[in-house]
């Protein structure tokens, strides 16, 4: 057995070991949440912590038998983000309810790719600037919120400093589909349901927001939907009452299909029923 053969075998063995070690970081894993505990095996928090350790796009599935059950989020009474998603993730909620017992923001999407499906987020509130039930951090990326309900969330941040009680989109391309926004209270904030924009002045490119087939009921704030600077925006087939304001002349706003408000024109609709 010559040295060349031994070196070749060592090289192959090393490659196999490297593949075995790195494959979990390259191929996304699937985690199933089997209980509503705040921590421990089978909990959502542990599943998310495991997902955040991987650079791959993971999937978290809430077990279907937990539909309608409540996951309470009040870890140590902290007034901050309850759950930060820092690695690409697809979350299938299967009708789970995330409920905040104390003030705090629920999800921070601090990754370039995330999807949240079929969850209810309820009673999330804060007096801090920049916290919403779902806050998309200024990192840029692609995001999808589908089939979700936002109910009874609130913000008591000082006037004109609170942003987006249910969803605040700092950056990236966001699609919101088949969602329901009800009784979200942003009396002292702007964008009681959705706020998009605010970081283009920091040198980021325009981001995009598309809202399709969503309902808006009794969302209280200066504007249930507020579009800031640097946002290309499309609103398709809304129902209920949805106030929409284009707060920046540079934004391109489309009420699809039909009315298009071109760049440089400000649209102000305090309250409109579709």
Mean of all residue pLDDT scores within the chain: 74
CB 210 within 8 A of CB 174: yes
User: If you average pLDDT over residues 222-240, what whole number do you get?
Assistant: 62
User: What pLDDT digit, counting tens, does each position of 57-83 carry?
Assistant: 999 999 999 999 998 876 554 445 578
Separation of alpha carbons 265 and 274, rounded Å: 22
Query: What pTM was estimated for this model as a whole?
Result: 0.79
Q: In what order do the strands lie in the sheet with 220-221?
A: 125-126, 154-155, 185-186, 220-221
Domains defined for the chain, CATH in brackets: 3-269 (2.160.20)
* Mean per-residue pLDDT, 162-167: 74
The secondary structure element, H or E, covering residue 20 is: helix 3-26
Backbone angles phi and psi of 22, in degrees to 5: -95, -15
Contact 137, 109 (CB under 8 A): yes
CA angle at 153 for the pair 148 and 154, rounded to the nearest 5°: 150
């Amino acid at each position: 057995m010559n040295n060349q053969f031994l070196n070749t075998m060592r090289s192959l063995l090393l490659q196999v070991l490297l593949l075995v070690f790195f494959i979990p970081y390259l191929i996304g894993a699937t985690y199933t949440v089997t209980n509503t505990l705040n921590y421990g095996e089978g909990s959502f928090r542990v599943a998310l912590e495991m997902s955040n350790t991987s650079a791959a796009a993971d999937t978290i599935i809430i077990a279907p038998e937990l539909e309608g059950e409540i996951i309470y989020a009040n870890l140590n009474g902290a007034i901050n983000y309850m759950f930060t998603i820092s690695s690409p993730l697809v979350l299938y909620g299967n009708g789970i309810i995330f409920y905040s017992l104390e003030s705090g923001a629920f999800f921070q999407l601090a990754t370039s790719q995330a999807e949240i499906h079929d969850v209810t987020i309820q009673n999330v509130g804060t007096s801090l600037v920049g916290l919403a039930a779902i806050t998309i951090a200024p990192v840029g990326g692609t995001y999808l919120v589908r089939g979700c309900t936002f109910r009874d969330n609130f913000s008591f941040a000082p006037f004109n400093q609170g942003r987006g009680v249910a969803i605040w989109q700092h950056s990236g391309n966001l699609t919101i589909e088949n969602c329901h926004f009800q009784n979200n209270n942003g009396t002292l904030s702007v964008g009681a349901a959705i706020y998009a924009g605010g970081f283009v002045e920091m040198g980021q490119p325009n981001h995009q927001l598309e809202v399709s087939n969503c309902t808006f009921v009794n969302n209280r704030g200066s504007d249930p939907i507020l579009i800031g600077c640097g946002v290309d925006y499309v609103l398709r087939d809304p129902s209920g009452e949805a106030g929409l304001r284009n707060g920046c002349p540079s934004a391109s706003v489309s009420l699809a299909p039909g009315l298009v408000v071109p760049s440089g024109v400000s649209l102000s609709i305090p309250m409109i029923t579709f």
